[in-house]
């Protein structure tokens, strides 16, 4: 009887210690949130860090390292930080929309704080960009894409892509990185700029390339609309193919 009583008392003490410990640690943030990701699911928990959101939420579509496996979902690895901040703010504020945004991105970004957006942008911008494989230099489509990227099409009033997106497509500040992006995704976006009224895949306004702090007399994105309207379907495919293999 004494042995049973003693065992029962020990069990009660252990249970009490566990309960007390859980309550105690719920009020003490971990050194880093990644040490205990389950805390992000605890009601009343501390604000979840951006890197935890990236791993637990964004990775489902964009990959843990920002390199997505779906041709429909953009790579975020090595993307320009300022561009990522702008896009996340626009998704949160419902000023950027597309076929999938209402279903996914509006909900994902809807509750993000400015701090979390900054942290997410930090996380993905620091991931190593996608490395393309070797491509034959004799490919005429790639040669055409390279020509447009570097020199534009002067006869049609299309300026070269690298004037805004950088000499290697790496992007600059609020101009996005387009090198190494999925071929399918690039074609969809270029087609949207060519036909801005067809908003199935992308914009309903929003700051697509300009800093949010700068006001323009003309609508945001007008630069891209002007450039893409004179691209043929084969030109769009050539540019996308070249950017897809550009590092």
HSE on the CB side for 196, CA within 13 Å? 18
Asked if pLDDT for residue 233 goes beyond 60, the answer is: yes
Q: What is the DSSP letter of 160?
A: P
Q: How does pLDDT run across 54-111, given as a tens digit for each residue?
A: 999 999 999 999 999 999 999 999 999 999 999 999 889 887 776 666 778 888 888 8
Better pLDDT: 6 or 228: 228
Would you say 206 and 220 are in contact if contact means Cβ atoms under 8 Å apart? yes
What is d(CA 108, CA 53) in angstroms, rounded to the nearest whole number?
Answer: 10
Domains of the chain, earliest start first: 32-125 (1.10.760.10), 140-245 (1.10.760.10)
> How many Å apart are CA 65 and CA 52, to the nearest integer?
12
Model pTM score: 0.73
pLDDT of residue 70: 93
Structural contact between residues 130 and 147, judged by C-beta atoms closer than 8 angstroms: no
17 pLDDT higher than 90: no
What φ, ψ does residue 79 adopt, rounded to 5°?
-70, 155
Model confidence at 188, in pLDDT bands (50, 70, 90)? Answer: confident
Across 45-74, b (16+ Cβ under 10 Å) vs e yields eeebbbbbbbbbebeebbbebbbbeeeebb
């Amino acid at each position: 009887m004494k042995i049973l009583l003693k065992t029962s008392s020990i069990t009660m003490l252990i249970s009490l210690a566990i309960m007390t410990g859980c309550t105690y640690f719920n009020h003490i943030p971990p050194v880093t949130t990644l040490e205990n990701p389950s805390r992000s699911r605890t009601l009343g928990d501390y604000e979840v860090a951006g890197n935890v959101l990236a791993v637990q939420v964004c990775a489902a579509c964009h990959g843990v390292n920002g390199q997505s496996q779906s041709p429909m979902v953009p790579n975020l690895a090595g993307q320009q930080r300022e561009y990522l901040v702008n896009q996340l703010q626009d998704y949160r504020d419902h000023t950027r929309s597309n076929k999938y945004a209402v279903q996914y991105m509006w909900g994902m970004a809807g509750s993000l704080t400015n701090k979390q957006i900054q942290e997410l942008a930090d996380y993905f911008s620091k991931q190593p960009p996608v490395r393309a494989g070797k491509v034959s230099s004799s490919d005429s489509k790639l040669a055409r894409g390279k020509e447009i990227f570097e020199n534009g099409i002067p006869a049609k009033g299309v300026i070269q892509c690298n004037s805004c997106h950088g000499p290697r497509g790496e992007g600059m500040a609020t101009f996005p990185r387009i090198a190494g992006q999925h071929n399918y995704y690039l074609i969809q976006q270029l087609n949207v700029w060519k036909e801005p009224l067809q908003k199935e895949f992308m914009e309903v306004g929003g700051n697509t390339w300009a800093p949010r702090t700068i006001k323009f007399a003309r609508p945001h994105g007008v630069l891209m609309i002007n450039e893409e309207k004179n691209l043929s379907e084969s030109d769009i495919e050539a540019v996308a193919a070249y950017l897809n293999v550009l590092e």
